[in-house]
Amino acid sequence: MSIRAKKLSILFVPALIVLVLDQITKYLVRTNPGLHRVDVIEGWLALNFTKNPGMALGMDWLSTPAISIVAILATIGILSYILYTLNKANYAYLLCMGLIIGGALGNITDRLFMAIAGGYGGVLDGHVVDFIHFNLTIGDWAVFPYIFNIADIAISTSIIVLLFFHRKIMPIEHTSESENINEDQVDETVHQNETAIVSENE
Protein backbone atom coordinates (compact mmCIF):
# COMPACT_ATOMS: atom_id res chain seq x y z
CA MET A 1 0.00 0.00 0.00
CA SER A 2 1.37 3.42 -0.97
CA ILE A 3 1.74 6.18 1.62
CA ARG A 4 -1.07 8.16 -0.03
CA ALA A 5 -3.40 5.16 0.04
CA LYS A 6 -2.57 4.55 3.70
CA LYS A 7 -3.28 8.17 4.56
CA LEU A 8 -6.62 8.05 2.75
CA SER A 9 -7.51 4.88 4.67
CA ILE A 10 -6.66 6.53 8.00
CA LEU A 11 -8.91 9.43 6.99
CA PHE A 12 -11.92 7.61 5.57
CA VAL A 13 -12.11 4.40 7.64
CA PRO A 14 -12.74 6.27 10.93
CA ALA A 15 -15.19 8.53 9.09
CA LEU A 16 -17.13 5.50 7.87
CA ILE A 17 -17.10 3.86 11.31
CA VAL A 18 -18.45 7.00 12.98
CA LEU A 19 -21.12 7.44 10.29
CA VAL A 20 -22.33 3.83 10.64
CA LEU A 21 -22.32 3.83 14.46
CA ASP A 22 -24.07 7.19 14.54
CA GLN A 23 -26.85 6.13 12.20
CA ILE A 24 -27.35 2.72 13.83
CA THR A 25 -27.64 4.17 17.34
CA LYS A 26 -29.99 6.92 16.16
CA TYR A 27 -32.18 4.37 14.37
CA LEU A 28 -32.35 2.09 17.42
CA VAL A 29 -33.32 4.92 19.76
CA ARG A 30 -35.72 6.54 17.30
CA THR A 31 -37.62 3.34 16.49
CA ASN A 32 -37.80 1.91 20.03
CA PRO A 33 -40.14 3.91 22.31
CA GLY A 34 -38.70 2.07 25.31
CA LEU A 35 -35.36 3.84 24.67
CA HIS A 36 -36.80 7.35 24.40
CA ARG A 37 -36.50 7.98 28.17
CA VAL A 38 -34.08 5.71 30.02
CA ASP A 39 -31.81 6.28 33.01
CA VAL A 40 -28.52 4.57 32.15
CA ILE A 41 -26.71 5.79 35.28
CA GLU A 42 -29.21 7.45 37.56
CA GLY A 43 -28.38 11.09 38.14
CA TRP A 44 -25.53 10.99 35.65
CA LEU A 45 -26.40 9.61 32.23
CA ALA A 46 -29.69 9.01 30.44
CA LEU A 47 -31.15 8.39 27.02
CA ASN A 48 -33.44 11.27 26.12
CA PHE A 49 -34.70 11.16 22.54
CA THR A 50 -35.02 14.59 20.90
CA LYS A 51 -34.98 16.06 17.41
CA ASN A 52 -32.85 19.17 17.01
CA PRO A 53 -33.89 21.52 14.16
CA GLY A 54 -31.05 23.94 14.86
CA MET A 55 -27.31 23.83 15.34
CA ALA A 56 -25.18 22.33 18.07
CA LEU A 57 -25.87 23.28 21.70
CA GLY A 58 -29.41 24.37 20.88
CA MET A 59 -28.43 27.37 18.73
CA ASP A 60 -31.10 28.27 16.16
CA TRP A 61 -29.85 31.41 14.45
CA LEU A 62 -30.86 30.14 11.00
CA SER A 63 -33.68 28.09 9.52
CA THR A 64 -33.22 24.33 9.28
CA PRO A 65 -32.66 24.30 5.47
CA ALA A 66 -30.10 27.12 5.77
CA ILE A 67 -28.26 25.27 8.53
CA SER A 68 -28.27 22.12 6.39
CA ILE A 69 -26.75 23.96 3.43
CA VAL A 70 -24.09 25.59 5.62
CA ALA A 71 -23.21 22.19 7.13
CA ILE A 72 -22.87 20.58 3.70
CA LEU A 73 -20.72 23.41 2.31
CA ALA A 74 -18.54 23.46 5.44
CA THR A 75 -17.96 19.70 5.21
CA ILE A 76 -17.03 19.95 1.53
CA GLY A 77 -14.63 22.78 2.36
CA ILE A 78 -12.99 20.87 5.22
CA LEU A 79 -12.61 17.72 3.13
CA SER A 80 -11.13 19.73 0.24
CA TYR A 81 -8.55 21.28 2.58
CA ILE A 82 -7.65 17.87 4.04
CA LEU A 83 -7.04 16.41 0.58
CA TYR A 84 -5.08 19.52 -0.46
CA THR A 85 -2.71 19.15 2.52
CA LEU A 86 -2.62 15.34 2.42
CA ASN A 87 1.10 15.12 1.59
CA LYS A 88 1.99 17.22 4.66
CA ALA A 89 -0.51 15.55 6.98
CA ASN A 90 0.51 13.08 9.66
CA TYR A 91 -1.56 10.11 10.75
CA ALA A 92 -2.83 11.68 14.00
CA TYR A 93 -4.16 14.69 12.09
CA LEU A 94 -5.88 12.49 9.52
CA LEU A 95 -7.45 10.34 12.24
CA CYS A 96 -8.89 13.41 13.97
CA MET A 97 -10.15 14.86 10.71
CA GLY A 98 -11.66 11.51 9.75
CA LEU A 99 -13.67 11.52 12.98
CA ILE A 100 -14.81 15.09 12.28
CA ILE A 101 -15.85 14.24 8.71
CA GLY A 102 -17.69 11.13 9.91
CA GLY A 103 -19.53 13.12 12.57
CA ALA A 104 -20.45 15.84 10.11
CA LEU A 105 -21.75 13.27 7.63
CA GLY A 106 -23.79 11.60 10.38
CA ASN A 107 -25.64 14.81 11.20
CA ILE A 108 -25.92 15.82 7.54
CA THR A 109 -27.56 12.47 6.82
CA ASP A 110 -30.24 13.35 9.38
CA ARG A 111 -30.74 16.76 7.80
CA LEU A 112 -31.15 15.23 4.34
CA PHE A 113 -33.46 12.32 5.15
CA MET A 114 -35.07 12.58 8.59
CA ALA A 115 -37.82 14.98 7.48
CA ILE A 116 -38.78 12.60 4.67
CA ALA A 117 -38.66 9.57 7.00
CA GLY A 118 -40.68 11.40 9.64
CA GLY A 119 -43.15 12.89 7.17
CA TYR A 120 -42.69 16.49 8.31
CA GLY A 121 -40.73 17.96 5.39
CA GLY A 122 -38.43 17.42 2.46
CA VAL A 123 -34.70 17.29 1.79
CA LEU A 124 -32.75 19.75 4.02
CA ASP A 125 -35.68 20.03 6.47
CA GLY A 126 -34.51 17.15 8.65
CA HIS A 127 -33.92 17.49 12.37
CA VAL A 128 -30.80 15.91 13.89
CA VAL A 129 -31.55 13.03 16.25
CA ASP A 130 -30.01 13.52 19.71
CA PHE A 131 -30.36 11.11 22.62
CA ILE A 132 -27.31 11.09 24.92
CA HIS A 133 -28.05 13.21 27.98
CA PHE A 134 -25.40 13.85 30.63
CA ASN A 135 -27.94 14.89 33.26
CA LEU A 136 -25.77 15.50 36.30
CA THR A 137 -26.97 18.45 38.37
CA ILE A 138 -25.34 20.28 41.26
CA GLY A 139 -28.10 21.88 43.27
CA ASP A 140 -30.30 23.56 40.65
CA TRP A 141 -27.44 23.87 38.16
CA ALA A 142 -27.23 21.43 35.24
CA VAL A 143 -23.57 20.61 34.59
CA PHE A 144 -24.14 19.97 30.86
CA PRO A 145 -27.76 20.59 29.85
CA TYR A 146 -27.35 19.65 26.19
CA ILE A 147 -28.39 16.42 24.49
CA PHE A 148 -26.05 15.02 21.84
CA ASN A 149 -25.22 11.96 19.73
CA ILE A 150 -22.30 9.80 18.57
CA ALA A 151 -21.49 12.22 15.73
CA ASP A 152 -21.22 15.11 18.19
CA ILE A 153 -18.89 13.09 20.43
CA ALA A 154 -16.57 12.31 17.49
CA ILE A 155 -16.46 15.94 16.37
CA SER A 156 -15.99 17.43 19.86
CA THR A 157 -13.31 14.94 20.92
CA SER A 158 -11.30 15.52 17.75
CA ILE A 159 -11.50 19.30 18.03
CA ILE A 160 -10.30 19.16 21.65
CA VAL A 161 -7.35 16.94 20.67
CA LEU A 162 -6.46 19.28 17.78
CA LEU A 163 -6.59 22.31 20.07
CA PHE A 164 -4.38 20.77 22.75
CA PHE A 165 -1.86 19.13 20.41
CA HIS A 166 -2.07 21.39 17.34
CA ARG A 167 1.71 22.03 17.27
CA LYS A 168 2.39 18.32 16.83
CA ILE A 169 -0.67 17.32 14.82
CA MET A 170 -1.45 20.11 12.35
CA PRO A 171 0.21 19.96 8.90
CA ILE A 172 3.43 22.00 8.77
CA GLU A 173 3.55 24.82 6.25
CA HIS A 174 7.03 25.39 4.86
CA THR A 175 7.44 28.99 3.72
CA SER A 176 10.14 30.28 1.41
CA GLU A 177 11.26 32.69 4.15
CA SER A 178 11.90 29.87 6.60
CA GLU A 179 13.72 27.91 3.92
CA ASN A 180 15.96 30.91 3.22
CA ILE A 181 16.70 31.26 6.95
CA ASN A 182 17.64 27.59 7.13
CA GLU A 183 19.91 27.93 4.09
CA ASP A 184 21.61 30.95 5.65
CA GLN A 185 22.15 29.02 8.87
CA VAL A 186 23.69 26.12 6.94
CA ASP A 187 26.01 28.48 5.04
CA GLU A 188 27.08 30.15 8.29
CA THR A 189 27.78 26.77 9.90
CA VAL A 190 29.84 25.64 6.91
CA HIS A 191 31.80 28.90 6.98
CA GLN A 192 32.54 28.51 10.70
CA ASN A 193 33.69 24.93 10.18
CA GLU A 194 35.98 25.96 7.34
CA THR A 195 37.48 28.75 9.48
CA ALA A 196 38.10 26.32 12.33
CA ILE A 197 39.84 23.85 10.00
CA VAL A 198 42.06 26.57 8.55
CA SER A 199 42.99 27.76 12.06
CA GLU A 200 43.93 24.25 13.16
CA ASN A 201 46.12 23.76 10.07
CA GLU A 202 47.92 27.05 10.77
Q: Which residues have a catalytic role annotated?
A: 130, 152
Rounded to the nearest angstrom, the gap between the alpha carbon of residue 29 and the centroid of all alpha carbons in its chain is 23
CA dihedral 64, 66, 72, 76 (to 10 degrees): -160
Rounded to the nearest angstrom, the gap between the alpha carbon of residue 111 and the centroid of all alpha carbons in its chain is 17
Q: How far is CA 197 from CA 7, 96, 186, 191, in A?
A: 46, 50, 17, 10
User: What's the chain's length in residues?
Assistant: 202
